[in-house]
A and B are shown apart, each in its own frame.
Chain A
Amino acid sequence: MVFKKLIRNRISLVGLVILLGFILIAVLAPVIAPIPDEFLAMDPNRDPYRIPRYGFSSTPRPPSPEHPMGLTEGQLDIFHGIVWGTRTAFKVGLIVVSVSCSIGIVIGSISAYIGGKFDEIIMRFVDVFMSFPFLIAAIVITSVLGKGLGNVMIAMIMFRWTGYARLIRGNVLQVKQDEYVMAARAAGVSHIKILLRHILPNTIFPVIIQASMNMGSIVVTASSLSFLGLGAQEGYADWGQMISYARNWILGAPGNPMAYWYTVVYPGLAIVLFVLSWNLIGDAFRDIMDPKLQA
């Protein structure tokens, strides 16, 4: 029913179509941007996420028939980077969202179910985590763990679960006093069973939706960290890193400020469209889920 409404709404339909496009690109990446034969000949086990490098000059080269989006700093193929970067984006987003959401749901629901002092302590703990700007917190953790996309994901998970914990806690607190929970408790059902069978099925859905709508912002933060040089390793297909390559060329050549436009426009467009699609769907979702706006 929700899905039907999403399709009927023009704004969210646009979001769904863009998202579907990205999913297709990610799935078909080996077909759309295969590793070029000359690179495969050199190294049969080449990681497809490594962007092919065509030469050693640092100056970017404009789009041409062989390289439809041009070559960015270090002669890296922009088209290849964008196609495989789609997979990186989904990978980072899905892992961070699912792991942090699971941690948040476990801690938040247990905290609310037990209640009392325990709940109070957990929530103060959450407050402390939430008093750091997300980006700064991620920088702190990556700087002590070391650079790399894996550590960036760990850092984001460490500071993302708190929001979901707070959300599910509020929902569980409301449901906890409902009659069917009381009835189950009176019937002698174990605490774990009450939580898993009766409380979570009634509280988990909005939290999961909320979490999946955060895919866009997670991908932006991960790209920001790559942009700052903390994330993906050199030459790895990652949108944020491709934009950091564009930084030195943004002002163009003397007399032609737009000389290297393709270095920033293509990867920029990829990130913006990706995030936009999630936000369009999320915006429509909020309206559908909000009973106050139904009338």
Chain B
Amino acid sequence: MLTYITRRLLFLPIVLIGVTLLIFFAMSFLTPAQLVSAYIKSPEELKNQSIQELVGRYGLDQPVWKRYFSWMKNVLKGDLGYSVSANMYVTEAIAKRFPATLELALFAVIPVICGGIWLGTISAKNHNRPLDHASRIFAIVGWSLPDFVFGLIILLIFYGLLSWFPPGRLSVWADSVVLSGSFVQYTGMNTVDALLNGRFDIFLDALRHLVAPTITLAYLWWAYILRITRSSMLDILGKDYVRTARAKGLTEKLVINRHVRRNALIPVVTVVGGMVLGLLGGVVIVETVFDYKGIGLLIAKGAERMDYTLILGTSLFYGVLLVMTNLIVDILYAVIDPRVRLE
């Protein structure tokens, strides 16, 4: 086990360097004059300075490898440049917006995993019966509904028609409470902060704003996890040890819960990494549709205004985050399935 984790950890810096190289490669499409904005420390620097001087000062006319190292030095110091569209440093913007996105993603992941596994089990138990076909159709249709179409329809029905789930993160009254001095923002996640501050009304308000974006973000992965659980359950149901378990007279419930589902969950864990990747990409659309102020909306607004400093900085952050998540998923996988670490 320990050797497996060490080996994975040794690969980590290589992949991380690869991620920085990729972002740096994307930057090389920009002209030195365009790149200046990725390097300046504040808007004041642009006053009384020609672009040429700035290009010289930040060494943007130097050979590629020298530029890479000086850029890396900045990145390691946590300096990703100044974003015009967000009107603040990129690192500052990420720190401010990330908790909102994390909150949204966490609310989406838990029902997806639990609900998807549950529905997948039911569907496998009723293999080739109407319930199985219904779940198959739900999955294919879910898989075919683009999130921006689905999100707009949800908005139309649950806000336009029923006014149940409004867009945004909080109602105006709740927002003013959260921003006032007496409310302490421990984590930046409204639901958690509200509970820590003992404000149950704000918790409910935050929850109400989370329902629609969570459903939009999650339905596609629901369908996906359902299908994966179903096919791996079917695979395991045909195994000899399941027949043995039935033959020795175990109840169907015990067979499913103890012998089948545990083994069937192994392939499900492998797709969790891909799911996190998809969810973090999906927030760009979902946050845009629901005007939910997280990193996704930041990226969408930045892209609209061609704010490449912001786009490059946030994508670097995303890349590092995802490499870390994948590492954790791999380690979890090895914990669950002993065969992996013996390879």
Asked if B14 CB lies within 8 Å of chain A CBs, one says yes
Q: Is the CB of B148 within 8 A of A279?
A: no
Q: A132-B315, A144-B26, A144-B27 given as contacts; is B18 within 8 A of A139 (CB)?
A: no
For A127, A129, A143, A145, the residue with the greatest tally of chain B CB atoms inside 10 Å of its CB is A143
| Chain B residues, CB < 8 A from A275 | 143-146
When C-beta atoms are compared, the residue in chain A nearest to B148 turns out to be A227
Asked if A39 CB lies within 8 Å of chain B CBs, one says no
Q: Is the CB of A250 within 8 A of B29?
A: no
Q: A139-B303, A145-B29 given as contacts; is B18 within 8 A of A268 (CB)?
A: no
Min distance, Cβ B143 to any Cβ of chain A, angstroms: 5
- The docked-state distance in angstroms from the alpha carbon of A276 to that of B235 is 26
Q: Is the CB of B308 within 8 A of A283?
A: no
Which of these binds chain B: A56-64, A96-104, A186-194, A216-224? A216-224
Q: Is the CB of B22 within 8 A of A129?
A: yes
Q: Is the CB of B303 within 8 A of A216?
A: no
- The docked-state distance in angstroms from the alpha carbon of A58 to that of B310 is 32
| Chain B residues, CB < 8 A from A25 | none
Asked if A246 CB lies within 8 Å of chain B CBs, one says yes
| Chain A residues, CB < 8 A from B155 | 250-251
Size range of the interface on A? Answer: 35 or more
| Chain A residues, CB < 8 A from B307 | 143
- The docked-state distance in angstroms from the alpha carbon of A209 to that of B146 is 22
Q: A127-B15, A132-B318, A243-B148 given as contacts; is B303 within 8 A of A142 (CB)?
A: yes
Q: Is the CB of A136 within 8 A of B144?
A: no
Q: Is the CB of A143 within 8 A of B140?
A: no
When C-beta atoms are compared, the residue in chain A nearest to B20 turns out to be A128
Asked if A292 CB lies within 8 Å of chain B CBs, one says yes
Q: Is the CB of A279 within 8 A of B143?
A: yes
Size range of the interface on B? Answer: 35 or more
Asked if B288 CB lies within 8 Å of chain A CBs, one says yes
Q: Is the CB of B149 within 8 A of A272?
A: yes
Which of these binds chain A: B65-73, B207-215, B261-269, B319-327? B319-327
Q: Is the CB of B303 within 8 A of A230?
A: yes
| Chain B residues, CB < 8 A from A129 | 22
Asked if A34 CB lies within 8 Å of chain B CBs, one says no
| Chain B residues, CB < 8 A from A216 | 144
| Chain A residues, CB < 8 A from B282 | 133, 135
Count of CB-CB pairs between chains A and B under 8 Å = 146
Q: Is the CB of B284 within 8 A of A131?
A: no
Q: Is the CB of B146 within 8 A of A224?
A: yes
| Chain B residues, CB < 8 A from A134 | 281
Asked if A280 CB lies within 8 Å of chain B CBs, one says yes
When C-beta atoms are compared, the residue in chain A nearest to B310 turns out to be A143
Min distance, Cβ A75 to any Cβ of chain B, angstroms: 21
| Chain A residues, CB < 8 A from B29 | 144-145
- The docked-state distance in angstroms from the alpha carbon of A268 to that of B21 is 38
Asked if B141 CB lies within 8 Å of chain A CBs, one says yes
Asked if A141 CB lies within 8 Å of chain B CBs, one says yes
Min distance, Cβ A143 to any Cβ of chain B, angstroms: 5
Q: Is the CB of B304 within 8 A of A228?
A: yes
Min distance, Cβ B317 to any Cβ of chain A, angstroms: 10
Other-chain residue from B19, B146, B303, B323 in contact with A271 (beta carbon distance below 8 A): B146
Min distance, Cβ B233 to any Cβ of chain A, angstroms: 13
Q: A127-B18, A142-B303, A143-B311 given as contacts; is B281 within 8 A of A136 (CB)?
A: yes
Q: A140-B315, A252-B160 given as contacts; is B152 within 8 A of A223 (CB)?
A: no
Asked if B159 CB lies within 8 Å of chain A CBs, one says yes
When C-beta atoms are compared, the residue in chain B nearest to A261 turns out to be B156
| Chain B residues, CB < 8 A from A180 | none
- The chain B residues found within 8 Å of chain A, CB to CB, are 14-15, 18-19, 21-23, 26-27, 29-30, 136, 140-141, 143-149, 152-153, 155-156, 159-161, 235, 277-278, 280-282, 284-285, 288-289, 299-300, 302-304, 306-308, 311-312, 315, 318-319, 322-323, 326
Q: Give me 5 other A-B pairs in contact (C-beta within 8 A), A228-B300, A258-B156, A272-B149 excluded.
A: A129-B22, A224-B147, A250-B155, A264-B153, A272-B144
29 residue pairs bridging A and B, Cβ less than 8 Å apart: A124-B18, A129-B22, A132-B318, A132-B319, A132-B322, A133-B280, A133-B318, A134-B281, A136-B281, A139-B284, A139-B299, A139-B311, A139-B315, A140-B26, A141-B26, A143-B311, A144-B27, A220-B146, A224-B285, A228-B300, A228-B304, A243-B149, A243-B152, A251-B156, A268-B153, A271-B149, A272-B144, A279-B140, A279-B143
